[in-house]
Structure 1
């Protein structure tokens, strides 16, 4: 049910995440280790920032399986950025395999990804669509719960920006999903691993309703990162303590990109933030 990776830090080439590690995001597209299913072949996408050229991100999406797209491999080798998002998709429900349904989703300077599902989405979609602002409504081009949650996020955010308003907007989207589930007496849980960035700050969540086990999520930090002979490494190693920390580079991923002891599993019900001054915080989601 989808896999994603987000990197923020010292500039690296995209292939450091997508193709070179033994458990790269492309490897996860055909042999996921921790997902419900090993195949995530219903399209992929990349978004990355080049602030010297634009505040808005570059975006590349395709319905091809990620492992079978030579354009992706060649692009990743020569593109470099300080903030990269990559996603491989496993379509859920009745949603089509189409470019409009591929992650990441872009709105202005914001990029959004999702791993999981909104419970009984076909039942709740109409009501959610009716609450959108006009500009957010017009932005929804596909059928996915993920893109609609992004539109809800942008509506919650309004003209605000920065890590505080972004964190609150993400939590408001999760609260809405949980409130809808309760009001409509839906027994199926929501699975809401979300990641969003404005090109500077990052917010990510690991969440599932009630006592359901959420989709996997990990992070690693260091003074940079590299990949040598298939081994993804941070330039400093060590485990993250449950307190604010600062590091030059942070990776957030559905699955570790390596077997190295540098990955920390995010606890269920947690919200991660990376501020503009490189500080990572980890706190409970407020429902």
Structure 2
């Protein structure tokens, strides 16, 4: 398993989001309190963030062309002596970070830790899928040999990311593709743990499917994490709220909604904070 978090809001240092909060992601690498599988997350870590938009006088590219940056290591997060300086110096309005507890038999190099990236998207998987090497065949899908050979890492998370990006590139909305992936895999891999975290720097999509997931809102900000930190909330912030099991969460700086991960025909009305419509977990 792993621990991960995502943040949208006013520009904040990576240190204030990842390193400094008591009980936060940094401490969860060696002392997670709610992790159901595994005891430490020492098989690597990753930080992903969106650089500040270029100034109007810089004509080398538009804001939409700004791609996220990543810093990933195969060492425990506490063993990287460069991390304190990096996280203190880098500020961003959108961040995705993770600490890794590797699935048995998967890669241990620096390509394996989340976040994975494609264009503006950053992705993390907290969980495990047994017999993942046969997953494409068992889903009744096909992947070209160059796609399989081009996986960023030899692990279940990299394969899940490839399946997800294939659908998004084909035009499926990110939330529908994420829900489809969780529902389909749970249908053929009982017990699969599929807590996904996805962002494009403007929206966070997440699934709770086999482990814990929480969110916390503040003035113009939202955090989504595997488990809460102990940072005190001021009067303008809401406390941490738990996402129900088998749910999909969609969050922006102005609204949060959760929807059950069930087939569309069975889905009850969405629980909404901020007023938005539901989603569809399509089967195919």
Considering the TM-score relative to the shorter chain, is it more than 0.5?
Answer: yes
User: Of residues 184, 202, 226 in structure 2, which corresponds to 1:176?
Assistant: 184
8 Å CA contact 2:42, 2:75 repeated in 1: yes
How many residues matched?
A: 247
Q: What residue number does 1:43 align with?
A: 44
Which blocks of at least 5 consecutive residues in structure 1 are unaligned? Answer: 182-187, 208-213, 224-247
Moved more, 28-37 or 124-133: 124-133
Shift of 1:166: 0.8
CA separation of 1:249/1:139 partners in 2, compared to 1, >3 Å: closer, same or farther? farther
State the distance in 1 between where 2:184 and 2:143 align: 13
Q: CA deviation at 1:67?
A: 0.8
1:249 is matched with 221
Matches within 5 A, 1:78-89: 78-89=89-100
The separation in 1 between residues aligned to 2:19 and 2:147, in whole angstroms, is: 34
In the alignment, what sits opposite 2:22? Answer: 22
CA distance in 1, matches of 2:122, 2:140: 20
* Equivalence for 1:3: 3
Distance 1:149 1:137 in 2: 11
The 1:139–1:8 alpha-carbon spacing in structure 2 relative to 1, beyond 3 Å, is: farther
Task: Output the TM-score relative to the length of structure 1.
Answer: 0.79
Give the secondary-structure state (helix, strand or coil) at the position aligned to 2:158. Answer: helix
Q: In 2, Cα distance between the equivalents of 1:135 and 1:12?
A: 39
Question: CA contact under 8 A between 1:8 and 1:249: conserved in structure 2?
Answer: yes
1:34 partnered with 2:10: no
CA shift for structure 1 position 137: 4.4
Q: 1:173 to 1:17 in 2, by over 3 A?
A: same
Q: CA deviation at 1:63?
A: 0.6
- Give unpaired runs (5+ residues) of structure 2: 55-64, 234-238, 264-284
Q: Is the 8 A contact 2:21 2:231 kept in 1?
A: no
Matched, 1:100 2:108: no
User: Normalising by the residue count of structure 2, what TM-score does the alignment of the two structures yield?
Assistant: 0.80
Give the distance between the partners of 1:41 and 1:21, measured in 2 at CA: 19
The verdict on how the C-alpha distance between 1:135 and 1:220 changes in structure 2, with shifts beyond 3 A counting, is: farther
State the SS of the aligned residue for 2:29. Answer: helix
**Could you report, residue by residue, the CA deviation over 1:63-98 in whole angstroms, capped at 9, with x for unpaired residues?**
111011121221110111111011000111201311
Q: Return the offset for 1:110.
A: 0.9
Q: Does the C-alpha gap of structure 1 residues 128 and 107 become closer, same or farther in structure 2, counting only changes over 3 Å?
A: farther
Partner of 1:243: none
| Cα distance between partner residues in 1 of 2:139 and 2:147 | 11
Divergent runs of 4+, >4 A: 125-130, 133-139
Q: Quick one: distance in 1 between partners of 2:119 and 2:140?
A: 20
Deviations 1:95-150 (A, max 9, x none): 13111111110111111001011133244256569623688546412111111111
Q: Distance in 2 between matches of 1:160 and 1:122?
A: 26
Corresponding residue for residue 270 of structure 1: 247
